[in-house]
Amino acid sequence: MTSTDMKTLKAGLLLLSFAFSVLCDDVYVYQNIVECQYSKEDLSDMVYMVKLVFNQKLLCSYDSRLGKYVGYDEYGTVNADYYNSQIWKVKQRRDELFTICKADARYYANSTTRKVPPVVIIRSNEKARHGQLTVLECNAYDFYPQPINISWLIDGEEVTDNVISTEAMENGDWSFQKRSYLELKLRRGVRVSCRVEHSGLERALVSHWVALLWPLLEHISTTKVINITVGSLLSPYTETSFHLRGDWI
């Protein structure tokens, strides 16, 4: 693998970046940029770098290949010497090659192939009655990766009028959620369904709205995985299916 195949994980600006002024119009920006560079799958050539930048000028940096800080001008050299004299800081940087770079690289590699199917549930924001204007919500959550498509079907035909969908939102645990809303008048004998397409699913998932089941579901938090077994109901328009981690139940 050539040098052009090097992969770089950057945490620059996320760790530390701030601007400040000293009672004047001048603004100074100091940045602490972390980089992890590697090309081999076993991470044996991992390089950990910490760059200290002031007003877009590189002052000094830590390089795991050298095991110390190096300065690039007079001020940077003074700082590098000071950091190198702090045994605890140098040890911390050496440990971070494993705790930050290699750990994050492994997690990143796993995340590029990981697929988690969505859990899907349909509900109404208020008690739904036939003949009245109602808003139905289709909630897909705990899925990964982010791309997902939610659409509405009435008697098997896709509808786009009176449909509003949110963007996929991060849950903060490497999973996402997305909601779609359909405003309509419920009519007896008309089947309303939510179709979800996601790479974690072998095929598109179609879940049907069932008004009779809503009293059983309205007290269940959608942040938890649910297990519900639904038998045959009286009306052919009230059958339903719920999706749990990619399996039909």
38 burial class (0-12, 13-18, 19+ CB within 10 angstroms)? buried
Rounded Cα distance between 233 and 107, Å, is 46
User: Do 222 and 206 lie in a common domain?
Assistant: yes
User: Do 124 and 234 lie in a common domain?
Assistant: yes
User: Do 106 and 150 lie in a common domain?
Assistant: no
Choose the final residue of a domain: 76, 111, 146. 111
Rounded Cα distance between 211 and 221, Å, is 18
pLDDT for res 1 = 38
More confident residue, 126 or 55: 55
Query: Are the beta carbons of 187 and 131 closer than 8 angstroms?
Result: yes
Choose the final residue of a domain: 111, 134, 168. 111
Give the confidence band of 193 by pLDDT, cuts at 50, 70, 90: very high
User: Do 126 and 164 lie in a common domain?
Assistant: yes
pLDDT for res 25 = 59
User: Do 184 and 138 lie in a common domain?
Assistant: yes
User: Do 243 and 123 lie in a common domain?
Assistant: yes
- What is the number of domains present in the chain? 2
Q: Whole domain around residue 11: which residue ranges?
A: 3-111
User: Do 141 and 226 lie in a common domain?
Assistant: yes
Rounded Cα distance between 43 and 216, Å, is 51
User: Do 72 and 94 lie in a common domain?
Assistant: yes
In percent, the amount of the chain with pLDDT more than 70 equals 72
User: Do 162 and 124 lie in a common domain?
Assistant: yes
Number of neighbouring beta carbons within 10 Å of residue 177: 19
Q: What is the pTM of this model?
A: 0.49
